[in-house]
Structure 1
């Protein structure tokens, strides 16, 4: 499957599961965010804001903003006042006569006056102020990253960093912008957006178009989500991230199809390692991604790490020392695990207490050496899978489970014959385009 196919599938998945509250959006946002960003961008809205300001149309808008603000539109506001002895503005004689007779008919020094002044209280300006607020606040959060040498930063932001300062000065000091009130939480309304969209001034039509596209992205509009994913700046590893997320959502869909209406998909709390949990009267299936499911007492520690050093073979000593070197050199746990960590774990607990596991490794490659490495890693996960310190597969004839407990997903292999699922051994291998149609068969073999 190429990138466009993965993006198309993920756009629908995010709309179906994430934005309907049945899948943790923060997990998806954390996986899709460009490298180098901190945890502030692990929520979906922040990720949308980041990609929004990287859009060429936003950069164009900011570049043209100072000149365009000279032609900002204003309205006329009429303020009615009652004065005694002085006149300010135009005298409203009918109201003046009425006011005099209602208070003191002989008071010829009382006047009702209409004072007209320039007003920024128009729909178009509310739309503009909301857009400027989004850009200003996001730039404030992202300025350090825009100034750093990240590949995902739009070249025009990096090459013209004065734009950040221009935007800040404009928002904080421009006399016109300051006179526009801050929009209410619910503003701009759809009617306000429509007014701006039909304005004759590019300042307002462009602002309305950009703000509407931003809102559509937040609402997970299909086209907007596709655009967001297509514009996600990627490094080589991120192609694999897209495939991982695609497979993850296929797991959710396959599990739902197993139990149909009887299964309930529940959102997992943010501090849980689980991504989703499916429960019915007979079983509970918990889905993990990119972690070792420690809350279930699962681990992947090779047996030789428990031996005394004097009992190790030369080969085992090399593995042990490799782990020690990694542990000493790297502070990040991700680099310390010799056996790595599986990308997806599906855990099922039946009512009778039986537990089954499906360990999935994903390789976004057709390279034979990479696939060989993926097979080895998947077999290691199975052989060293432990629950509460005890090996899950104890029998030396079944270190790898039933043959259906391990799954390797690789990219589509062209011009090469591969074995059918029931002809494979020890683990099962699926190509990316086969996942949607064949994953349910794998799950059924594990569950049943």
Structure 2
């Protein structure tokens, strides 16, 4: 039995790969958002996802936990404003202003005074940075996280923590005297004042606000990738994480083993996870969540199978859909087959007028060492390959080669086959996998004779 890749090693390896690709700007973050979706977060907005993971960070938790005590000593400035009064004095009399007022009225009313009235000013530079930061955190925690009823959310923010922070933000007398967070526009001068403050409350607020700005600008400095990978790289299931790890490692081999290849940023409308280019090739990598293809075949009721076994299967599908409709009201056609590959890599010849598709890789990933699951993966690949050439699902030219790749976690095979390349996830941890090295080279430079 081949050694399996442990969950801890998987997280570490995927974190390293993700940080590399985020810094390079070569990963489609919208596609990544779909692949890394948490349970309960139906979000495909990369900016919102970044805000959420920002609020899951340890630095934010530490800052918010210290806030109730710190906000009692919030910085203010003592100011005086000129106030016109009638028959009373508020503060000290501003005699020059008062005499001008009397003169303007011809000294007819000497009960009017101009007073320098003291007041406490909360709307200062440091507090503007603080309040804007708190507003960003508050709207994310209360709007995006509070309604998520899953254990992973409570590991970061319990219901009680959210409620306490909500009350503090809305009801604290000091915070309420600062302008509303959504109305504050933080200037460079505000940030400089916070950065130079002698109070930890403001210097930490500056650091966190600066980090938030860089995160939202997709400036993946080391501290930003550390923040993201510490929280982001925990999708709902380990198998999904394993799929991403495999994609990242294949991407690395394609990038390292192909002369002249470069990772390219993707257009906004692209659904590919990543894209590479050479002088004459474009390579598009898709993951299951955003894959370019999915196979779906419904039953044609007018076609009666000749074989009795197939006829019984057809009848069973009809019985199932009839029963489902009667019990639940769901109205759907009988489905003969439905499936989607975990990985699709499409390779195009960019020297041709229409950028011709020349090669396709279909990959299935199984986070298992079980023989039964290995066989299931092989069966799925065989089905995908047959469907790929059928009714223009994937290719309409039989000259386009289709390569099949099966990756498992710990299942070993002794033999080989021309139809499928089998790899183990643990092998991908090394930088010298000859099978994958030659596989990557062959995928891009030749046309394997693998037809329907």
Q: Which residue of 1 aligns with 2:280?
A: 282
Q: 1:441 aligns with which of 438, 441, 444?
A: 438
Q: 1:164 to 1:291 in 2, by over 3 A?
A: closer
Residue 251 of structure 1 and its aligned partner are, at CA, apart by 4.5
Residue 437 of structure 1 and its aligned partner are, at CA, apart by 4.8
Q: CA contact under 8 A between 1:343 and 1:362: conserved in structure 2?
A: yes
Residue 407 of structure 1 and its aligned partner are, at CA, apart by 0.9
The count of aligned residue pairs is: 415
After TM superposition, the structure 1 stretch with the greater mean CA deviation from structure 2, 350-359 or 79-88, is 79-88
Q: 1:48 to 1:274 in 2, by over 3 A?
A: closer
Q: Does 1:221 align with 2:221?
A: yes
Q: Which residue of 2 aligns with 1:376?
A: 379
Q: Which residue of 2 aligns with 1:72?
A: 74
Q: Deviations over 1:273-304 (max 9, x none)?
A: 4444555663343332216856xxx5536799
Task: Report the secondary structure of 1:428's partner residue.
Answer: strand
Give the structure-2-normalised TM-score. 0.72
Q: CA contact under 8 A between 1:365 and 1:410: conserved in structure 2?
A: yes
Gaps of 5+ in 2: 446-452
Q: Does 1:431 align with 2:424?
A: yes
Task: Report the secondary structure of 1:128's partner residue.
Answer: helix
Whole-angstrom distance in 1 between the partners of 2:318 and 2:337 = 6
Q: Which residue of 2 aligns with 1:50?
A: 52
Q: Which residue of 1 aligns with 2:358?
A: 355
Q: 1:259 to 1:374 in 2, by over 3 A?
A: same
Q: Which residue of 2 aligns with 1:170?
A: 168
Q: Which residue of 1 aligns with 2:369?
A: 366
Residue 157 of structure 1 and its aligned partner are, at CA, apart by 4.2
Q: 1:225 to 1:304 in 2, by over 3 A?
A: same
Whole-angstrom distance in 1 between the partners of 2:278 and 2:35 = 29
Whole-angstrom distance in 2 between the partners of 1:123 and 1:332 = 61
CA RMSD of aligned residues (A): 4.6
Compare relative contact order (CA 8 Å, sep 6+) and give the higher one, 1 or 2: 2
Q: Does 1:346 align with 2:345?
A: yes
Whole-angstrom distance in 1 between the partners of 2:263 and 2:322 = 41
Q: Which residue of 2 aligns with 1:191?
A: 192
Whole-angstrom distance in 2 between the partners of 1:319 and 1:225 = 52
Q: 1:307 to 1:69 in 2, by over 3 A?
A: same
Residue 37 of structure 1 and its aligned partner are, at CA, apart by 1.4
Q: Which residue of 2 aligns with 1:310?
A: 305
Give runs of aligned pairs for residues 12-31 of structure 1, distance below 5 A: 12-17=20-25, 22-31=26-35
Q: CA contact under 8 A between 1:327 and 1:336: conserved in structure 2?
A: no
Q: 1:280 to 1:119 in 2, by over 3 A?
A: same
Give the structure-1-normalised TM-score. 0.72
Q: Which residue of 2 aligns with 1:243?
A: 242
Give runs of aligned pairs for residues 23-422 of structure 1, distance below 5 A: 23-39=27-43, 42-55=44-57, 58-59=60-61, 62=64, 65-79=67-81, 89-90=91-92, 114-142=116-144, 144-146=146-148, 148=149, 150-155=150-155, 157-158=157-158, 161-182=159-180, 184-187=184-187, 190-196=191-197, 198-199=198-199, 203-204=201-202, 207-208=205-206, 210-211=208-209, 214-215=212-213, 217-218=215-216, 219-232=219-232, 234=234, 238-257=237-256, 261=260, 265-270=264-269, 272-278=270-276, 282-290=280-288, 300=295, 308-312=303-307, 314=309, 318=313, 321=316, 325=320, 338=337, 340-350=339-349, 351=351, 353=356, 355-386=358-389, 388-389=391-392, 405-411=403-409
Residue 320 of structure 1 and its aligned partner are, at CA, apart by 8.6
